[in-house]
């Protein structure tokens, strides 16, 4: 596939995917190597850099077309509900725990928070922000919880490397538990 045709194909895929599409999936569809996909997307990013109301961004291990923040006022007039997600402080706390400790079990979340988090976890699962991802090799084989891909899209995070480390936030080192006590 010629570069110009590949660019157009990638643009079309990004447009119809809505929530984004992985580099691997684009490579499968176009039958091109992932390196060529990265190279082509980077070229498209430069072309779209400041000449469009939308841009291509890397989110959650994939690519998506997003609107530029400066056009948010106009978009909110068209869709007043878009971009508004309200999280309770409990939900934000559970998301933070999952983000930094994943994979983590419900009982581990409860222990860190000091309260039962079952309802909050159920809500976050329902809203597709977290997901179950296997079971822990421990008595009872509790389910493991991880951040789900839509979380990265909603919060504009490419991947976990985009967030500050626990230490950068003033938390303890790896050898310390959640209370900052040495193990």
- Indicate the fold that domain 89-162 takes in CATH: Arc Repressor Mutant, subunit A (1.10.10)
Q: How far is CA 40 from CA 23, 58, 61, 63, 92, in A?
A: 11, 13, 16, 12, 37
pTM for the full predicted model: 0.54
Choices 3.90.226.10, 2.40.40.20, 1.10.10.10, 3.20.20.150: CATH for 3-68: 1.10.10.10
Task: Encode the chain (183 residues) as per-residue pLDDT tens digits.
Answer: 888 999 999 999 998 887 788 999 999 999 999 999 999 999 999 888 777 888 898 877 789 888 887 887 787 777 665 555 678 888 989 999 999 999 999 999 999 999 999 999 998 998 888 999 999 999 999 999 999 887 877 777 777 777 887 677 766 554 444 433 333
Task: Indicate the SS3 state at residue 61.
Answer: coil
């Amino acid at each position: 596939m010629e570069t110009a045709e590949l660019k157009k194909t990638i643009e079309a895929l990004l447009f119809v995917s809505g929530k984004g599409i992985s580099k691997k999936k684009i490579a499968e569809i176009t039958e091109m190597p992932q390196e060529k996909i990265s190279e082509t997307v980077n070229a498209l990013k430069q072309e779209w850099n400041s000449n469009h109301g939308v841009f291509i961004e890397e989110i959650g291990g994939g690519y998506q077309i997003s609107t530029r923040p400066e056009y948010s006022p106009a978009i909110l007039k068209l869709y007043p509900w878009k971009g508004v997600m309200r999280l309770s402080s409990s939900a934000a706390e559970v998301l933070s725990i999952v983000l930094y400790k994943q994979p983590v079990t419900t009982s581990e979340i409860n222990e860190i928070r000091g309260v039962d988090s079952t309802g909050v976890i159920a809500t976050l699962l329902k809203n597709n922000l977290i997901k179950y991802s296997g079971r822990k090799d421990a008595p009872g084989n509790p389910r493991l919880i991880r951040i789900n891909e839509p979380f990265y899209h909603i919060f504009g995070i490419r991947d976990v490397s985009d967030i500050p480390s626990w230490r950068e936030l003033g938390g303890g080192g790896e050898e310390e538990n959640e209370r900052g006590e040495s193990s």
